[in-house]
C-alpha cells in the first residue's frame, strides 16, 4: 500500500506502508546507527519524534523480549529505506512490522533516506507527517500543527519503585529512563529507588541516598520543572546526570540550553575528555545542548566535548560533588568506551562517604 512522508517545507516522499495506520505528526529526526533499531525505537527520548534510520536495511533480526529500553515505545513513526522481507534470529518473537502494528506506530519504507537526511542536515529537523493520501491541505495543516511539549509527563514513571541490591543507595529520578541505565547501576550493586520526574528534593533526601541520578528523557529541558530539586539535592549528596539530566543540571546552575539544528543521534560520536585527552566513541540521542558561552559566571566547568562540532558533552560543579554527561555511557546500543563514567559516580559516592566519616570523627 502507498504511503507518503510529507515535510513541512512541502517536500513529499512516496513509499510503502508498514506498521500501523498513518497520520502521525512529529519532528522528523535521523539516527545513523548500523544496528540497534529496537533499542532506539523503545528509547523514550524519541517521544514525539518520527525516527528515520540512515542504515539502508532495517528489521532483519526482528524484535526480541530482552533488548527493549522501555516497555511501551513512544516514537511517533519509523522511516526506513528497506524493510527486511524476512527476519531471522533465534531470540526474536516478532517482526518489526508486527511490533509496530501492535504498538500503533506507523512506518514507511522505500524512502531515499540518504536524500532526506541530507535535506534535514541542510534545513534542520522539521515537522513531518505520514499519510496514505496527500490532499491540497496536507502541507498547510502540517505547517499549522503544534509539536508535543513536555513529553516527560508521558515518558516517566508515575510511581516510585525499587530495584534492590546491597551496595550504594541511589535515587534515580526518571525523566524517561533507559533500562540500560538501571542495568549499569545494578552491575555495580547499587540499591535503586526510581522516582517520578516531579519528585521534590525533600522526598528524595528523606530516602537517605548515597547519590542521585538524573536520567535521560525527551523534549526541551526548559519544559521540565526539576531545577529547584536539583539545586537542593546537589548540596547534600553526589549527583550524576545523563542526557536530559545533563541539560537540567546545567540549567539548575545558571547555564542555558539551545535547540540544535539536527541533533546527535547515533552510536559513533567521538567525545574528548579535556583533562586527559582521552577519546571515546559514544552513543547519543539528543536535540538540545548546553550553551558553552552561558557557563561563564557559573560554578560549572566543561569536562568533555564533541570532537566534530565542539558542543559540550560533560560538565561538573566546581564546589559540589556533581557532574553530568550529554552522551550515553550505558551504550545500549553502541560502543562501551565510556561505561567508566558509572564507576566515576560510584567513586564520587565513596569519596563523599569517607569525607562524612572523617568529619564525624573530628
Instruction: Give the torsion sign (CA, 244, 44, 142, 10).
Output: positive
Looking at the structure, do residues 198 and 337 belong to the same domain, yes or no? yes
Tens digit of each residue's pLDDT (9 = 90 or more) over 105-139: 999 999 999 999 999 999 999 999 999 999 999 99
Same domain, 56 and 93: yes
274 is in an annotated binding site: no
Are 43 and 89 in the same domain? yes
- Structural domain count, the chain: 2
45 is in an annotated binding site: yes
- For this structure, is 330 an active site residue? yes
Share of the chain above pLDDT 90, in %: 96
- Tell me whether residue 291 is exposed, middle or buried, using C-beta atoms within 10 angstroms of its C-beta: 0 to 12, 13 to 18, 19 or more: middle
Q: Tell me whether residue 81 is one of the annotated catalytic residues.
A: no
CATH of the domain at 204: 3.40.50.880
Reduced DSSP (H G I as helix, E B as strand, rest coil) percent helix, strand, coil of the chain, to 5: 25, 30, 40
Q: What nine digits make up the cell of 38? A: 529496537
Q: How much is the pLDDT for 359?
A: 79
Residue tagged active-site, from 43, 67, 330, 337:
330
Instruction: Verify that 166 and 279 share a domain, yes or no.
Output: yes
Q: Which three cell numbers stand for residue 289?
A: 545542548
Does the model's pTM come out above 0.95? yes
Q: Which of 246, 269, 286, 328 is catalytic?
A: 328
- The string of DSSP letters for 12-62 reads EEEEEEEEB---EEEEEEEE--SS-HHHHHT-GGGTTEEEEE-SSEE-TT-
287 in a labelled binding site: yes
- Whether 121 and 215 share a structural domain: no
Q: Let me know whether 216 and 272 are in one domain.
A: yes
pLDDT of res. 358? 80
Q: What is the pLDDT of residue 356?
A: 82
77 labeled part of a ligand binding site: no
Q: Is pLDDT of 362 > 70?
A: no
Contact 300, 320 (CB under 8 A): no
Same domain (yes/no): 122, 209: no
Q: Are residues 137 and 237 in the same domain?
A: no
Domain end position, chosen among 144, 164, 180: 144
Alpha-carbon Rg for the chain in angstroms: 21
188 and 139 share one domain: no
Q: Are residues 164 and 308 in the same domain?
A: yes
Picking from 144, 178, 195, the residue at the C-terminal end of a domain is 144
285 is in an annotated binding site: yes
| Residue 247 annotated as part of some ligand binding site | yes
Of 144, 173, 206, at which residue does a domain stop? 144
Q: What residues make up the domain containing 111?
A: 2-144
pLDDT at 210 (0 to 100): 98
Residue 51: beta bridge partners? 29, 78
Which one from 81, 174, 190, 243 is the annotated catalytic residue? 243
Cell matching residue 75 = 516514537
By residue count, the chain amounts to: 362
Amino acid at each position: 500500500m502507498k504511503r507518503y512522508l510529507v515535510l513541512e517545507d512541502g517536500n513529499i516522499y512516496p513509499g510503502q506502508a508498514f506498521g500501523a495506520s498513518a497520520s502521525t505528526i512529529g519532528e522528523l529526526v535521523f539516527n545513523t546507527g548500523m544496528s540497534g533499531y529496537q533499542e532506539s525505537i523503545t528509547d523514550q527520548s524519541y517521544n514525539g519524534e518520527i525516527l528515520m534510520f540512515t542504515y539502508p536495511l532495517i528489521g532483519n533480526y526482528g524484535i526480541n523480549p530482552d533488548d527493549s529500553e522501555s516497555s511501551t515505545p513512544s516514537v511517533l513513526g519509523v522511516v526506513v529505506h528497506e524493510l527486511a522481507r524476512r527476519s531471522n534470529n533465534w531470540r526474536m518473537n516478532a517482526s518489526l512490522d508486527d511490533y509496530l502494528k501492535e504498538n500503533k506506530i506507523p512506518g514507511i519504507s522505500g524512502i531515499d533516506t540518504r536524500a532526506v537526511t541530507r535535506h534535514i542536515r541542510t534545513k534542520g529537523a522539521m515537522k513531518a507527517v505520514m499519510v496514505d493520501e496527500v490532499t491540497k491541505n496536507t502541507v498547510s495543516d502540517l505547517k499549522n500543527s503544534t509539536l508535543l511539549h513536555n513529553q516527560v509527563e508521558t515518558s516517566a514513571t508515575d510511581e516510585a519503585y525499587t530495584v534492590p541490591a546491597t551496595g550504594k543507595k541511589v535515587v534515580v529520578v526518571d525523566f524517561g529512563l533507559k533500562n540500560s541505565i538501571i542495568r549499569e547501576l545494578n552491575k555495580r550493586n547499587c540499591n535503586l529507588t526510581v522516582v517520578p520526574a516531579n519528585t521534590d528534593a525533600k522526598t528524595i533526601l528523606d530516602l537517605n541516598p548515597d547519590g542521585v541520578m538524573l536520567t535521560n528523557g525527551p523534549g526541551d529541558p526548559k519544559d521540565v520543572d526539576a531545577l529547584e530539586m536539583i539545586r537542593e539535592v546537589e548540596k547534600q549528596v553526589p549527583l550524576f546526570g545523563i542526557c536530559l539530566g545533563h541539560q537540567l543540571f546545567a540549567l539548575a546552575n545558571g547555564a542555558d540550553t539551545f535547540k540544535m539544528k539536527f541533533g546527535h543521534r547515533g552510536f559513533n560520536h567521538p567525545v574528548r575528555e579535556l583533562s586527559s585527552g582521552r577519546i571515546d566513541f559514544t552513543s547519543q540521542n539528543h536535540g538540545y545542548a548546553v550553551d558553552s558561552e552561558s557557563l561563564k559566571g557559573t560554578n560549572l566547568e566543561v569536562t568533555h566535548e564533541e570532537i566534530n562540532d565542539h558542543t559540550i558533552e560533560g560538565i561538573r560543579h566546581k564546589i559540589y560533588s556533581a557532574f553530568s554527561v550529554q552522551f550515553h555511557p550505558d551504550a545500549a546500543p553502541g560502543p562501551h568506551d565510556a561505561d567508566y563514567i558509572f564507576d566515576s559516580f560510584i567513586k564520587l559516592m565513596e569519596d563523599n562517604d569517607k569525607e562524612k566519616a572523617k568529619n564525624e570523627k573530628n
